[in-house]
């Protein structure tokens, strides 16, 4: 399965969160709701899921920083 770049997923997550907040405060604007639906759909497609709850979990998992082992040497050069 193809995986979206983490930067793309982070951008989608930020956009979704902002639109979600805006949709709660501005319930009469259909444009905001349409944008929210579009971002939710894009998140689902980007993560290979069928509902926004699963898409959010998958996107957050894929954008989580990978812990590094301090004992692992860093190659410079």
3 state SS of 26? coil
Range in 8-12, 29-33, 44-48, 72-76 with the lowest mean pLDDT: 72-76
pLDDT digits over 19-54, tens only? 999 988 866 688 999 999 999 999 999 999 999 999
Give residue 72's pLDDT.
Answer: 64
3 state SS of 58? helix
pTM for the whole structure = 0.80
């Amino acid at each position: 399965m193809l995986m979206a770049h983490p930067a793309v997923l982070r951008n989608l997550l930020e956009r979704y969160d902002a639109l979600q907040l805006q949709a709660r405060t501005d319930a009469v604007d259909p444009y905001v709701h349409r944008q929210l639906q579009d971002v939710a759909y894009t998140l689902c497609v980007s993560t290979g899921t069928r509902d926004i709850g699963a898409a959010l979990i998958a996107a957050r998992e894929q954008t989580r920083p990978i812990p590094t082992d301090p004992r692992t040497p860093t190659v410079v050069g």
